[in-house]
Every structure is written in structure tokens, then in C-alpha cells.
């Protein structure tokens, strides 16, 4: 084992860096993580370093018992198991790096067990509850049809609220029955549109055409009647809560509830799990893999066959915007 982690070591470029500093460079350059993610890793590493310092130990001298005691200390101060698991994940990455880079002969975290995390299942709305929420929307209000289209898009397409708010007109391919969604990490995916969603969008565009939209926001699909520009996530959260109350739905819901209901209903209807993962844009399935291995025609057929909105027989085509 090399000398203390506080001591500097020569890098291949000839300058000196401590193991902790070299880990930061590794995360940024070799792992290509974002600055925010790198700082999260480093914050967890620093927490453990400070804990060891209080006991007069160096990070390269840490043992399995030190990690167990550290997790115990986190638990004592009220850190939840989920956060403990995240911190432990950062430390495992750090010590894995130290072993590979030659600072340690063995990884002391290998035998450390991850804290058990209780599974919290999000609420799932029934189709009847979703229809009740949509039917509770007052169409006499200027924003009524817009809200109907938004709720339908959240449910029929399984969109995240940020994806809904950032949706733009060029992303809609109504004649083909698809919407292009830009998700986390700017990754794009194609999601089939139900005939119900297309019908609600078509009705909304009749109202949207009368809004004097502020410059720079003309391409956004969903526009605030009052502010004349795109909607914020907070605004969507607020009106979803109001609709749930009006519809008499007692479950605690958010825009994400419709996304989870979308996936649950597809699964219950017999849809292929891989198709569902692709439609949700989960990071575990690369975008290129979606479009290389899943035929778009088959993908659309899978959603049309298993989604409740499409089994209702509303399969009319709507012209492209």
C-alpha cells in the first residue's frame, strides 16, 4: 500500500495529485460525469474522510469495521437508508478506483452490505379515476381544453412533467401517430400517440391559435393563457392537485402518477416489459438500442394493442400540425 492519501503522488503528466484529487479527475474525464454528479461523489468521500480523521485514521487505512461504524453513525444522526446507500455507492466507487489505480491491494468495501431500502410503491390510478379527473376539467374556462390535452398526454404517453412542459410543435407527428420526447440527458425517444390524445390535442390547437404567444415561445405546445408562454412544472403540479380534489380522488397524486399508471396499465394488459421500458425512456435501455432492435411499426402495434385508450376504438388519424 502507498503512503497516506493526504500525500501527493506523481501523475503520468508529471504533476502531483492526491488520491482524492485523482479520483475527481477520473470521474470528470474518464467517467464523463457532470460537474453536479462529480460534486455529489466528492461530498460523500469527504464525509467519510472527516469521519476517519476524528478517529485519527487515514482513508487508505480504512477497514470493513470503519465502514460499518460510519454507516452506524449516519443512522444515529437520522440519515435515511436510501441516502446511506447513495453514500456507500460513492465510497465503493472511490475505493474501487484506489484499488485499480494501485493505491490499495484490496477493496475494503467488497464485503460491506448495502442498507436495506424499503420499497415505496407510487399510487396507481384506475382508468375510471383518470376519466373522472379528465371529466372534472371545466371546458368553459380558457385553459380547460389545454388541461384535458395535458392530462391525456401525461397518461397516454407516460411523459415526465418536464417532458410535457418542454414539448414543442416540431416534436408532434400526428399523421404518423408519434411524438418525439426529449428526456433526461437530452436523450430522445419516439412514443406512440393514442387516438384519444390526438383528438384532445386537435381540439386544444383550436384554442391555442387564438393566444398571442410571447416571442420565443411560439414552438411550445402547451401555453399559459395568462402568461402567454410555456408552462412551468409547478403550474402543472398545482392544477393536477386541484383536479384530483374536484374529481373526488383521495389518493395523493402528482403528474408522475399518470406516468406510473401508464406503465402499470400496459403491463397489466400484457405489453412486453422491454417495450414499456423503452416508452418510459429508462436509462437502462440506450436510445440507439431502441431504434435498432425495436421495429417502429411493431412498437406502435404493441402500444395500440395493450393501452386502454386505444382499446376504446378511437383510432382515427389526425392531420400533422
Question: Which tens digit of pLDDT belongs to each residue from 103-122?
Answer: 999 999 988 887 766 555 56
Quote the CA–CA distance of 155 and 150 in Å, as a whole number.
Answer: 9
Query: What pLDDT, on a 0 to 100 scale, did the predictor assign at position 134?
Result: 96
The residue assigned the cell 403550474 is: 235
Residue ranges of the chain with per-residue pLDDT less than 70: 1-16, 76-78, 116-122, 272-274, 283-304, 306, 311-321
Count of Cβ atoms closer than 10 Å to residue 111 Cβ = 9
Q: Per DSSP, what are the bridge partners of residue 178?
A: 173, 192
Query: What pLDDT, on a 0 to 100 scale, did the predictor assign at position 302?
Result: 63
Longest CA–CA separation in the chain, Å: 74
Q: Per DSSP, what are the bridge partners of residue 10?
A: 16
SS3 (DSSP) at 281: coil
State pLDDT tens for residues 51-105: 888 888 899 999 988 898 888 877 766 677 888 888 999 999 999 999 998 899 9
- Does the annotation mark 49 as catalytic? no
- Does the annotation mark 184 as catalytic? yes
Query: What pLDDT, on a 0 to 100 scale, did the predictor assign at position 320?
Result: 43
What distance, in Å, lies between the first and last C-alpha atoms of the chain?
65
Of 148, 160, 196, 309, catalytic: 160
Q: 188, 164, 192: which is closest to 176 by C-alpha?
A: 192
Report domain extents, the chain.
9-100, 127-311
Of 282, 293, 298, 317, catalytic: 282
- Does the annotation mark 260 as catalytic? no
Quote the CA–CA distance of 4 and 48 in Å, as a whole number.
Answer: 15
CATH code reported for the domain at 127-311: 1.10.443.10
What is the distance, to the nearest Å, from the Cα of residue 139 to the centroid of all Cα atoms in its chain?
31
Cell of 316: 382515427
By CB atoms closer than 10 A (0-12, 13-18, 19+), residue 87 is buried
Of 184, 214, 251, 298, catalytic: 184
- Does the annotation mark 160 as catalytic? yes
Query: What pLDDT, on a 0 to 100 scale, did the predictor assign at position 17?
Result: 73
- Does the annotation mark 282 as catalytic? yes
Query: What pLDDT, on a 0 to 100 scale, did the predictor assign at position 81?
Result: 82
Average pLDDT over the chain reads 82
Query: What's domain 9-100's architecture?
Result: Orthogonal Bundle (1.10)
Q: Per DSSP, what are the bridge partners of residue 168?
A: 220
Of 49, 256, 274, 311, catalytic: 256
Quote the CA–CA distance of 88 and 71 in Å, as a whole number.
Answer: 8
By CB atoms closer than 10 A (0-12, 13-18, 19+), residue 116 is exposed
- Does the annotation mark 22 as catalytic? no
Domains 9-100 and 127-311 share a fold: no
Query: What pLDDT, on a 0 to 100 scale, did the predictor assign at position 248?
Result: 95
Query: What pLDDT, on a 0 to 100 scale, did the predictor assign at position 285?
Result: 39
Amino acid at each position: 500500500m502507498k503512503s497516506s492519501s493526504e500525500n501527493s503522488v506523481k501523475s503520468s503528466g508529471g504533476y502531483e495529485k492526491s488520491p482524492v484529487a485523482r479520483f475527481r479527475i477520473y470521474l470528470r474525464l474518464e467517467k464523463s460525469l457532470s460537474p453536479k454528479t462529480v460534486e455529489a461523489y466528492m461530498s460523500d468521500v469527504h464525509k467519510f474522510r472527516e469521519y476517519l480523521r476524528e478517529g485519527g485514521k487515514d482513508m487508505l487505512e480504512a477497514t470493513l469495521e470503519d465502514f460499518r461504524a460510519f454507516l452506524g453513525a449516519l443512522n444515529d444522526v437520522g440519515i435515511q437508508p436510501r441516502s446511506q446507500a447513495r453514500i456507500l455507492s460513492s465510497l465503493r466507487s472511490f475505493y474501487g478506483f484506489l484499488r485499480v489505480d494501485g493505491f490499495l491491494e484490496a477493496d475494503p468495501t467488497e464485503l460491506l452490505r448495502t442498507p436495506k431500502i424499503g420499497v415505496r410503491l407510487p399510487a396507481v390510478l384506475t382508468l375510471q379515476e383518470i376519466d373522472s379527473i379528465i371529466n372534472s376539467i371545466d371546458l368553459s374556462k380558457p385553459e380547460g381544453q389545454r388541461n384535458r390535452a395535458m392530462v391525456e398526454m401525461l397518461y397516454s404517453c407516460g411523459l415526465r412533467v418536464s417532458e410535457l412542459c418542454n414539448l414543442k410543435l416540431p416534436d408532434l407527428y400526428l399523421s404518423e401517430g408519434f411524438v418525439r420526447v426529449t428526456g433526461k440527458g437530452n436523450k430522445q425517444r419516439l412514443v406512440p400517440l393514442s387516438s384519444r390524445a390526438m383528438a384532445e390535442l386537435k381540439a386544444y390547437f383550436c384554442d391555442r391559435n387564438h393566444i398571442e404567444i410571447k416571442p420565443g415561445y411560439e414552438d411550445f405546445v402547451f401555453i399559459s393563457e395568462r402568461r402567454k408562454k410555456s408552462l412551468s412544472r409547478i403550474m402543472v403540479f398545482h392544477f393536477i392537485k386541484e383536479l384530483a380534489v374536484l374529481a373526488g380522488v383521495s389518493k395523493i397524486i402528482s403528474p408522475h402518477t399518470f406516468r406510473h399508471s401508464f406503465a402499470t396499465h400496459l403491463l397489466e394488459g400484457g405489453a412486453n416489459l422491454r417495450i414499456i421500458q423503452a416508452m418510459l425512456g429508462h436509462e437502462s435501455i440506450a436510445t440507439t438500442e431502441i431504434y435498432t432492435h425495436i421495429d417502429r411499426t411493431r412498437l406502435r402495434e404493441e402500444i395500440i394493442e395493450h393501452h386502454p385508450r386505444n382499446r376504446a376504438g378511437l383510432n382515427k388519424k389526425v392531420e400533422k400540425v
